[in-house]
Amino acid sequence: MRSLSVLLLLGCSACSSLEGTRQAECHKYQTPITVGGTQEQAEFLACRQPDNSWRITQTTPGLPTQVYTVPPYAADPHIPQ
């Protein structure tokens, strides 16, 4: 089981949403993780979606890209479930 922690904020950038011209709020993070006993650098791109959920894409060398969705109520306690 891998445990991931975001240690370093690299910066903030804009990424295109599926709607084409609309821009989504995105943040890029990078953190070291251990995969099979070897330390690798994982990159994460977190983009807020139109429904206020977050789409998080994890890219780690040697592993397939993983995509997670964090529902809006989990990211912001002011949004009702």
Structure tokens at 3: 């445990």
Nearby residues of 35 by Cβ (< 8 Å), 6 or more positions away? 2, 60, 62, 63
Measured from the Cβ of residue 23, the count of other Cβ atoms closer than 10 Å reads 12
Mean pLDDT of 5-19: 37
Confidence of residue 16 (pLDDT cuts 50, 70, 90): very low
Confidence of residue 61 (pLDDT cuts 50, 70, 90): confident
Confidence of residue 63 (pLDDT cuts 50, 70, 90): confident
